[in-house]
Structure 1
């Protein structure tokens, strides 16, 4: 116990850790500059790259539909998957696969997803990038206890009346402990948002890092008529790509430096407080896969689902003339106009929607997707085998993709400042406060527009729930090369200040602002804001 500090406003670490406080090692080594994280090396020999075909997550069909709503069911369960060739890894899954099944839904139609928890731990599901009512947003103490949990056990470890909530009465955005359930929970997504690449993942307080590391990740793609009308690549030439890094023990089990190996208490060991990096790069759950592609345009929906790793993605070789990566969208959907890049930098939780024209390569070219922020084996990501036969391709990338609504800073009714930094006491904090459920650091009015200014000590990818935002500036200058369009996660570099413009629409209630370096998040770098 001398290596843990328990944080939060009267929140105690209870039994199973269902509503755990955050464990912060006091002697953790903190990187003062550069990219975050410490490499966790696998104990098993790593497989040769580019031997495994790229898997594509299955698209989940609704169990039923009516005039307004599509209904889905997902079971959270343990599965023994062959991630490394010849070995089985016990994986926490949505529906038995890693990543979980893709939900492909229509803007304007309501989606109801019922999750059944057959794991051994409580879970919370967050639709990342979703414009979602508070009771379905995945607030970190809206727990779904495993099937078979007794009401008495749940009441003692996370339901209404639990120990540890005294003194929270009267706090802005107070926690509604009645949203805890046993066995199943139905999450309702109204669908009032444009086409975009979203994803769903676990969001339990103090345990998001090990949950996502162990497999609780999946795509949620929103489609609409505006995007469908564009002549972009589609069908087999649209590839959703989940990037993640992992490490494995000698028998193929998942390795993670948890402070408590049984995951009854949150936190990681001292050396990994600034983030956990794996030495195996997975794409859609496969190590360094290869994909056969036609000499045609492909749409790549990229998601960085790593706990802490940053990627600088680049094709090798570059096509003649460069500008290999044509960005058509980001976190919140289509950009107004395409932006060409030789490389893109993607922080944890960010998404990039890119078009690559493989017809610019000679037939038979092997094109590697590289991570220039990596080293050794983590510098390679996957391989594209460019076909040799002639194919038809009627896709194009229009010069104009859409017309975006632009928020006006003159409409902002408030400017708020949020500092992301480590306190002198060793806590990961926002505005010098470690996270406490129900304690809101901001109370924006429903329908209002505000400027939120984030500043950092080290690297922090900052994620805002409820609404996407538009980046106004970096360090008082123009937005960065990767800040275009609507975003819900912004990469905040060391000693940097970023201003964003956000309008709070449709849904009142308690929402989250947090760092998406999952080890930072689990060790208290979160805050509530209450839309009133």
Structure 2
């Protein structure tokens, strides 16, 4: 890994003693995968390295988990300030893999965790010091006959693939978005306000929202799937008095788990080179892109790491920063799931009312976060695995066809000593938290409708903004017309008003207002939907029969119809900014094998400006994105105009 250079001054706000809990380093760039960031428990448990799936060439659980360095801003009068530099660096992701050239924040991947205190306004200077072209080789592959039973994306290398044009020469432009921060449009990291090398993006953040875990990442329009893959992502943690009063596990017992996946190139001898490879399958004659999936799982920038823990409670801040992969997480002991292993205490936007146990898997789509507590007290002297799973596949088992060649995520090695009883799971986490009541919701206007549709003539999935209309004079099926029959039998007719990024009729919301948004997924793939300038609570998730939608005409031949109420998961019951619309981890054959879903959310708009709402699968972002404008309510009607 690149070492810190004396020619580049330290970033403002770096507290050297805070860079790594449990270890001292010479600088941000000197962080090595062989240096653990956590105190090693005495009497460490069994467990150890294991071979990975055939063809992957790296040993699992060989390298310790490391914690990203911590940046704390410096006070400057009534606000705090911080400088974060984007730098090209060689990063060690595995001790058996050559250093990987990456675009980074401060020379590390993931970037430093910015840690702040609620109520302290924050100004960040994001400096672009990136050099060279994007350090990613983009390729695709596919056969006219349909999806492969063992796609090439399961394996490293580019053999059998073709290069995606226009990627290799991409220059290091950037736009930084602090995902989940409630800040105005001028500071949100607008995806077309690009930052050239040598320039600085100055962003002011109110930083006045509940203690939580956010994350920052590149948001450059059209190329975010490559720039984030190149390494431009990091965490942002906000703390407040309510959180401190809970006396939750802290220090070495509070651990971020930043999840991502990557693939790499091979040299002529078949050895891994460390070159990042972005590889996707294009299906059929129309070359429909499957969601991106890579075979190597990284946690905090380490491939299949291990973490030595004590037999006690730990707090994990889990963040899915992958391009498109949904992580369906389970904790296994002796190959069997640990019931209720995860106790959810917080979601995207803060703490919830009480701990909620996860029954089954913890599903996190790209952009989602979960704050969880895990008790290792019942496992002294044993090792456990965190795995990615699919419904219908034995937990810990693989499925080549469904991009799960290697299901293991990381290993926990529990020290062989008496369990600690110093922490007790609290009955109440956030007394201030509440779910929306009837009077908290608007009942005097129609909801917003967003319909997610499978690939159209351009071969890519689409996001349709809709408006309610009458059915008179319409011959069904009609392009852009969708009818929905709800649980009570009422049929609503929807007309498409916008689809492309540059279409008119932008959603315009009132500052301080609350709106109901309904996301209807008619496609086989789930989509994580993210709203800028806002936060929301999920009101319901429902299954719908979507076989009445005519994919060829792009309209419904008969109404898509309510089937059943689906249960909201624990991490979906708090304040959110990203929500998965569509089933996670299910294997069902056929174009309509996956049931459609209708997810209803109550959206609040506490800041103003121009932002976007979009799918957070980065391979979908450029074509499933629409502008969103939030303005003062009085301005929307000034002079008699609306």
Match of 1:140 among 191, 194, 197: 191
**Looking at both structures, which has the greater relative contact order when contacts are Cα pairs under 8 Å and sequence separation is at least 6?**
1
- Match of residue 461 from structure 2: 428
* 1:346 maps onto 2:368 in alignment: no
Q: Which aligned pairs between 1:362-511 and structure 2 lie closer than 5 A?
A: 363-373=380-390, 375=399, 377-390=405-418, 392-402=420-430, 403-410=432-439, 411-412=441-442, 413-421=445-453, 422-431=455-464, 433-436=498-501, 439=504, 441-456=506-521, 457=523, 458-475=525-542, 477=565, 479-482=567-570, 483-493=572-582, 495-505=596-606, 507-511=607-611
- Match of residue 337 from structure 1: 354
Cα deviations across residues 146-183 of structure 1 (Å, max 9, x unaligned)? 12xxxxxxxxxxxxxxxxxxxxxxxxxxxxxxxxxxx1
The verdict on how the C-alpha distance between 1:350 and 1:252 changes in structure 2, with shifts beyond 3 A counting, is: same
Report if aligned partners of 1:231, 1:397 keep a CA contact under 8 Å in 2. no
Report if aligned partners of 1:44, 1:248 keep a CA contact under 8 Å in 2. no
Cα deviations across residues 265-314 of structure 1 (Å, max 9, x unaligned)? xxxx9867232100001001101000000111000100011111111111
Q: Which aligned pairs between 1:16-31 and structure 2 lie closer than 5 A?
A: none
* 1:75 maps onto 2:85 in alignment: yes
- Match of residue 60 from structure 2: 49
Report if aligned partners of 2:541, 2:597 keep a CA contact under 8 Å in 1. yes
Could you list the runs of 5+ residues in structure 2 that have no partner in the other structure?
1-52, 131-170, 267-272, 391-397, 465-495, 543-561, 583-593, 632-642
Aligned residues: 444
Cα deviations across residues 368-402 of structure 1 (Å, max 9, x unaligned)? 00111364553100000000134645222211111
State the TM-score, normalized to the length of structure 1: 0.79
Deviation at 1:405, TM superposition (A): 3.9
- Match of residue 128 from structure 1: 179
* 1:309 maps onto 2:325 in alignment: yes
Distance 1:116 1:49 in 2: 36
Find the residue that maps to 1:278 and give its secondary structure. Answer: coil
Could you list the runs of 5+ residues in structure 1 that have no partner in the other structure?
1-41, 148-182, 260-268
Find the residue that maps to 2:257 and give its secondary structure. Answer: strand
Deviation at 1:474, TM superposition (A): 1.2
Report if aligned partners of 1:124, 1:202 keep a CA contact under 8 Å in 2. yes
Report if aligned partners of 1:317, 1:367 keep a CA contact under 8 Å in 2. yes
Distance 1:436 1:196 in 2: 31
Distance 2:505 2:349 in 1: 25
Distance 2:55 2:107 in 1: 24
Distance 2:180 2:305 in 1: 27
State the TM-score, normalized to the length of structure 2: 0.66
- Match of residue 513 from structure 1: 613
RMSD, aligned α-carbons: 2.5
Cα deviations across residues 62-92 of structure 1 (Å, max 9, x unaligned)? 2x31243221111111101121324121111
Report if aligned partners of 1:51, 1:289 keep a CA contact under 8 Å in 2. yes
* 1:323 maps onto 2:340 in alignment: yes
Cα deviations across residues 333-392 of structure 1 (Å, max 9, x unaligned)? 11111111242111111111110111121x220110011136455310000000013464
Match of 2:374 among 341, 350, 356: 356
The verdict on how the C-alpha distance between 1:414 and 1:311 changes in structure 2, with shifts beyond 3 A counting, is: same
Report if aligned partners of 2:280, 2:289 keep a CA contact under 8 Å in 1. no
Report if aligned partners of 1:325, 1:340 keep a CA contact under 8 Å in 2. yes
Q: Which runs of 4+ in 1 moved over 6 A?
A: 318-321
Cα deviations across residues 400-425 of structure 1 (Å, max 9, x unaligned)? 11131443455314411001223344
Match of 1:100 among 102, 107, 111: 111
Distance 1:215 1:334 in 2: 28
